[in-house]
Structures are given as C-alpha cells and as structure tokens.
Amino acid sequence: MEIFEIILIGIGLSMDAFAVSICKGLSMKKFNWKNAIIIATYFGVFQALMPLIGYFLGIAFQGLVNTITHWISFILLTVIGKNMIKESFNKPKSIENININAKNMILLAIATSLDALVVGITFAFFKTNIIFAVFIIGIITFILSLIGVLIGNRFGNKFHTKAELIGGLILILIGIKILLEHLGILNL
C-alpha cells in the first residue's frame, strides 16, 4: 500500500474523531490547550491502536468484526449523545463542562475508531507496513482532532447555550450514519 493511500485512509478514518472533537470544543467556555491536546491524544492513540489490533486479529475474525462494529459505534455514540442532550436542558453550571475524564474519552475514542479495526484487518491482506500505517493514521487523527476542538470552541463561544444540545445531536447522527452505512442503507 502506497503512502498516499495510507494518508487518505488516515483522513477518512479520522472524520468521526474530528466531528466529536468539534463537539468537545463546543463545550469549552475558553479554549484550553491542555484539554485540546488530551482530547486529540485519546483520539489519535485509539485511531492508531485499532488498526494494529485489527491487523493481528487478521482474516480469521473478519466476518464477525464486520458484523458488530457498526452496532457498537451506534450504541456508544447514541448513549453519549443522549447524555449530552439531557445535560443541555439542566441549569447552566458555573464551571466548564468539558468532561474529558478517562471513562468518557475512552468510550468516545473506541466508538470513533471501530472502523479502524476493520481497516487493520484489510491491512493484513495487503501486507501493509503496519507500524508505518498506524503512525500515519494516529498523527493525522491527532492533528485533525486538535483542529476540531479549535473549530468547536470558536463556534461554541458564540452559541454557548445550545452547544451541548448540538454536540449530542451530532454524536447521535454520527452513530446513525455509521449504522446505516454498514447496513447498506446509506452510501456516502
């Protein structure tokens, strides 16, 4: 597999993490580099780990993995999105509600990187240099997630009252999109 193809795969795989990073940026009252780097690191690391895991799972589990990843992504993103929408109707808190605790970030990182697991399985078929591929995918996801937090924060500062509602709806829509694509109902 050529470097250009791996870069394109990295960009494609990082789009869900990018969208969720925008949601995280929406919930920041004031941009915080430390939080942005933590968010980008979670997404970058998981986006790199999943193809590596998929690579080692190999051909034997391809059918099983392909049949459940969309359901897991859909459920995780819907639950997290529902919670964000619910929180958006609560009275505003005096502190920032960025929620980058490990549990929340791991769930989001797994939900947005399950497709990368399947890509890792395909890397095994093409005898791809997996170390190089996961490095490129992880770096691309890190950079795009950092940009996503910045974009979300700029938007969120102007429309802070609806930021969590919008973020929750986006997560649910991403989950639905993933499910519909894997069921063959939606082809984007």
Name the burial class of residue 62, with classes exposed (0-12), middle (13-18) and buried (19+) by CB atoms within 10 angstroms of its CB: middle
Dump pLDDT digits (tens) for 11-51. Answer: 988 888 998 898 899 888 889 999 999 999 999 999 999 99
pLDDT value of residue 60: 66
pLDDT value of residue 157: 58
Tokens of 53: 């895991």
Q: Give dist(CA 56, CA 58) in Å, integer.
A: 5
pLDDT value of residue 112: 87
pLDDT value of residue 158: 59
Q: Give dist(CA 148, CA 142) in Å, integer.
A: 10
Q: Give dist(CA 179, CA 175) in Å, integer.
A: 6
pLDDT value of residue 75: 79
The verdict on residue 187 lying in a domain is no
The verdict on residue 102 lying in a domain is yes
Residues in the chain predicted with pLDDT less than 70, given as ranges, are 1, 59-66, 69, 73, 76-77, 80, 84, 87-88, 90-97, 156-164, 167, 171, 188
Domain count within the chain? 1
pLDDT value of residue 95: 38
Q: How many CA atoms lie within 13 A of 167 on its CB side?
A: 35
- pTM (two decimals): 0.73
Q: Give dist(CA 75, CA 71) in Å, integer.
A: 6
Nearest CA to 24 out of 4, 42, 6 is that of 42
Which residue range(s) make up the domain with 71?
A: 3-182
The verdict on residue 139 lying in a domain is yes
pLDDT value of residue 167: 65
The verdict on residue 151 lying in a domain is yes
The verdict on residue 188 lying in a domain is no
